[in-house]
Amino acid sequence: MNSHSPLDMQVIDHRLIVADGIGGLTILDVSEPQAAYVMSHHPTPGSARGVAFKDGYALVANREGGLQIVAVNPRLENLVWVDETTISVTVPTGYTPGPYDVRAEDPETGEATLPNALLICALKTIEARLDPVVDPDAGHFVWPLAWRASILDRTSTASAGYQARLRLPSLPGEVVVTDELVADASRDTIEITLSAAGDRAEVTLTGADTARLRERWVEAISEGGFQLPALSATSFGDVRLALETELPAGRLGAASFIPVPHGEEPGMRFRYDLEDGVLLSARGWGAAADMTIETTLFEANGCRSSLTLSYRDELRDRCYELADELPGLASLCDTGKPLMLPATHHSSAREQRHHVRRRAR
């Protein structure tokens, strides 16, 4: 320990908390007294002359700076080696957000300090919403409705970035992927059929370039879904979405919705249409089917916060809202049947409620 002039100290859970004079507050790990090391250092104004510890906070008495309160991070326990270069650890609550140096030991090579190897992110709440978009040619809402995701973030700096993606359904361990070459196809189609038991998925890739489509499928798997095009810094879309509770009798053909014979009764089905790699539309079938859009805030320091929006919930909430003005619509709200509504009806109801959903991660 390179100390200036320690004037007071406390031992708490194998940690030595030192009021180190002009050196501020120093915290050491003394679980092995013969190999004690500095865990953290906190400069304080003036000279730290006394210290007390209470409920995770060090109360530091400074001659010139008065009382300083410093949050002392809890110890990290239960480190698990994932592989030769990766360690997994669950960080307990109470850590001050920011970068941390990591001290590593190896019996053969000795000790090493890895600067800024651990980043603790602050808990943030972001807001986002889904809004239906009026068809510009028809002048009203056309089924399947086009939807736009907007992120309402009022806390981050200008250096923050945003992203929205339509998530894939949860896939089981057994996934069978087949290709269907359609030489004159103008769009690519990815169709997923999940078994009723949820233990098997069949994926059919249809398009003019199946090798390219395979690459897009692998990319979607690695990212967990399809990125939505950015319309502005915080707005994404437009993508047509639709849900139906009843499933067709067979697989949906790439060129039409005529059922194709299929072996096992499916539990849910999803179809995604892409053009030049951009998602244009997505449809789902099944009583439990849903489509979720994950909106994410990326901060310059590497932290991220996410909020997931349920299309099923949004469609239901919007539908019942409109049913207040349009008698008879309520009977359709749980079925996902086509809605074709004049823009004037929807805009007046939207002004009453916005259905903004919030969640912190």
Domain end among 71, 97, 112? 71
Instruction: Please check whether residues 263 and 340 belong to one and the same domain.
Output: yes
| Residue 61 β-bridge partners | 50, 67
What is the secondary structure of 243-306 as a DSSP string? Answer: EESSPPSSEEPSSSS-EE--SSPEEEEEEEEEETTEEEEEEEESTT---EEEEEEE-TTS-EEE
Asked if residue 272 belongs to a domain, the reply is: yes
Total count of domains within the chain: 3
In this prediction, residue 316 carries a pLDDT of 75
The answer as to whether 325 is a domain residue is yes
**Quick one: pLDDT at residue 217?**
92
The whole-number pLDDT of residue 56 equals 79
Q: Tell me, what's the pLDDT at 143?
A: 66
User: Last residue of a domain, which of 120, 149, 178?
Assistant: 120
pTM of the model: 0.68
**pLDDT attached to residue 279:** 93
Q: Is 211 helix (H, G, I), strand (E, B) or coil?
A: helix
From the list 96, 227, 233, 231, the residue with the least C-alpha distance to 160 is 233
Beta pairing class for 188-195 and 266-275: antiparallel
Give yes or no: residues 165 and 84 share one domain.
no
Classify the phi-psi angles of 220: left when phi > 0, otherwise alpha if psi is within -120 to 50, otherwise beta: alpha
Residues 30 and 92 in one domain: no
Same domain for 175 and 216?
yes
pLDDT of amino acid 356? 36
Q: Running along the chain, 361 residues long, what does each successive block of 10 average in pLDDT?
A: 71 86 86 81 85 87 84 73 75 77 72 78 85 77 80 66 93 90 88 88 91 91 92 91 72 37 65 92 88 90 88 78 61 54 36 35 37
- 107 and 184 inside one domain: no
Q: Domain residues for 97?
A: 80-120
Same domain as 133, residue 199 = yes
* Residue at 3 is within a domain: no
Q: Helices 343-350 and 311-323, interaxial angle, to 10°?
A: 100
The answer to whether residue 2 is domain-embedded is no
1 in a domain, yes or no? no
Check whether residue 56 and residue 33 sit in a common domain: yes
DSSP letter for each residue of 302-327? S-EEEEEEEHHHHHHHHHHHHHTTST
Domain co-membership, 135 together with 32:
no
Q: End-to-end CA distance of the chain, in Å?
A: 38
Residues 132 and 31 in one domain: no
Which tokens in the block code for residue 135? 């068809």
Task: Choose one of 71, 94, 112: the last residue of a domain.
Answer: 71
Residues 115 and 257 in one domain: no
The CATH number that applies at residue 60 is: 2.40.10
Which residue in the block uniquely carries the two structure tokens 């510890």? 53
For residues 135 and 263, membership in a common domain is answered with yes
Q: Evaluate whether residue 215 is within a structural domain.
A: yes
Same domain, 189 and 303: yes
Residue 283 lies in a domain: yes
Residue 150 lies in a domain: yes
